[in-house]
Amino acid sequence: MKKNAAFRNFAFFESYFSNYIEGTEFEIEDARQIIETGQPMPARNEVIIPTVFRDDYLNSLRRLTRKGDPAVLIRAISRVRQFSANITGADFDATRNYLEACNAFKESEEYILRF
C-alpha cells in the first residue's frame, strides 16, 4: 500500500515539476494514466550541466533556496536542456569537438557556454 502511494506521489510531482520548471509537455493527465495503469514512467532526456555552466547553475539553486526566486533556475534549466538536446553522441570525436567548441570543459569565469 505504501509503495502505491509513493508511486502516485512521484508521478504527480514528476508531472508538476516538469511542467513548472522544465516547461516540458508531460501532462498531469499522463501522470493520472500512469497511476491507474501502473506503467513505468516515460523515458526522459538527460540534461548535462557542463563545467563552464556549473557556477551559474549552482547560483540559480542558491537564489531559489535563499530568496524563493525560481526565475533564474528556470532560465538555467532551460538553457542546459537546449544545450543537451544538441548533443547527439553518435561519434565520440565529433561529440567531444562539439563540447570543446561550446566551452563545456572550461572552468574559468572568463568563458561562457556557447552553442
pLDDT at 41: 58
Residue at grid coordinates 533556496: 65
Rg (CA), the chain: 17
State the Cα–Cα distance between residues 14 and 7, nearest whole angstrom.
10
| Percent of residues in the chain assigned helix, strand, coil, to nearest 5 | 65, 0, 35
State the Cα–Cα distance between residues 66 and 114, nearest whole angstrom.
28
Reported as a single tens digit per residue, the pLDDT across 10-67 is: 666 665 555 555 555 556 666 667 667 766 655 656 778 888 988 888 898 899 889 8
Reported as a single tens digit per residue, the pLDDT across 62-108 is: 998 898 888 888 888 888 888 888 887 778 888 889 889 999 889 87
Q: DSSP letter string over 9-53?
A: HHHHHHHHHIIIII-----HHHHHHHHHHTPPPPP-------GGG
Q: DSSP letter string over 53-102?
A: GHHHHHHHHHHHHHH---HHHHHHHHHHHHHHHT---SSHHHHHHHHHHT
Give the residue extent of every domain in the chain. Answer: 2-37, 51-101
State the Cα–Cα distance between residues 12 and 36, nearest whole angstrom.
12
Predicted TM-score (pTM) of the model is 0.57
